[in-house]
Structure 1
Amino acid sequence: MDSSVVVENIYLLVIVTLISVLQNAFFAQKVERECKKPDGHTSAFERLSCANRNCMDAYPTFLAAMWCAGVCLTQAPAAFAGIVYLLVRQKYFIGYLGQTCQSTPGYLFGKRIIGFLLLMSVVGVFNHLLRRYLGGGYKEYVETITNAASALLLIP
């Protein structure tokens, strides 16, 4: 594959990654602002800190799955799933500010999106192996199915 085609095909993934970095900065700022309040370490600070830690624990897995799915299979559905994941992560973080049970739907939906990205990665690798060793190129069919399936992520 030509290197200019590879670079051309990763801009959406780069944009989603940069948005996720800004979201991480927003989360860190919220935790820092709560920490600097005069009443010290309140339950709100503990909840914010815990939500931030949980988001950061899943962050490397999300990035790896999104980039693998985008590079190995197709970029647009991977970037779309990445944007949906960031919205769900925002819902999880904000939900954690209230009752802990309010964050559960965001957590479960985020797991589903990471599973979708992982499945896209596996299909992309499998397609590459098929094309390389059996000479069959099913990538177009797989991309069509993946593009259609990415819309299913919006169903709760």
Structure 2
Amino acid sequence: MYNIVVENIYLLVVITLISVLQNAFFALKVEKECNGLQKNPAAFERVSCANRNCMDSYPTFLAVMWCAGLCLSQAPAAFAGIIYLVVRQKYFVGYMGQTCQSTPGYQFGKRILFFLFLMCIVGIFNYLLVRFFSSDYKEYVETITSAASALLLIP
């Protein structure tokens, strides 16, 4: 029983742990700029704001990634999660330069969150179809979702 549960969530766990490491990296950047606050207060303000923005969207990301992985399919949800972490890194680094450099990362991140949200809705809808109408379309939806997750790479 334990192995079946772990097989269904291990990719989501790995992505979550990577995101925790990324959050630690962001916190270290803020701390580093805080120590040099007297030298460049504008840099501290940018890094601090980028960190706050990333932390504001973090619970939403975790919620939709886990829901999508549990309700529908683990692999596409984990793939979207790793792409989201790359985009979030791009956003953070872009924000440290000039705020206009972070806009593409922000918009791409919104698109990934929307994809994960749609996965959640489709998974819940499929569950309701199975529960009330005995119609299971999970295999078809998983195939479509796996193919559609590759489309996330298109800018």
Q: With structure 2 as the length reference, what TM-score do the two structures score?
A: 0.97
How many residues in Structure 1 have an aligned counterpart in Structure 2? 155
| Contact 1:88–1:106 (Cα < 8 Å) also in 2 | yes
Q: Which residue pairs with 2:123 in the alignment?
A: 124
* Equivalent residue letter for 2:101: Q
| Contact 2:9–2:69 (Cα < 8 Å) also in 1 | yes
**Higher normalized helix content (fraction of residues):** 2
Q: Confirm whether residue 96 of structure 1 aligns to residue 95 of structure 2.
A: yes
Q: Which residue pairs with 1:140 in the alignment?
A: 139
C-alpha deviation, 1:99, in angstroms: 1.1
Amino-acid identity (%): 74
* Equivalent residue letter for 2:92: F
Unaligned ranges ≥5, structure 2: none
Distance, in Å, in 1 between the alignment partners of 2:138 and 2:40 is 53
Q: Confirm whether residue 78 of structure 1 aligns to residue 77 of structure 2.
A: yes
Runs of 4+ in 1 over 3 A off after TM superposition: none
Q: Which residue pairs with 2:106 in the alignment?
A: 107
Q: Which residue pairs with 1:29 in the alignment?
A: 28
Unaligned ranges ≥5, structure 1: none
Q: Which residue pairs with 1:69 in the alignment?
A: 68
Distance, in Å, in 1 between the alignment partners of 2:40 and 2:57 is 25
C-alpha deviation, 1:40, in angstroms: 5.6
Q: With structure 1 as the length reference, what TM-score do the two structures score?
A: 0.96
Deviations 1:87-126 (A, max 9, x none): 0000000000111100000000000000000000000000
* Equivalent residue letter for 1:140: E
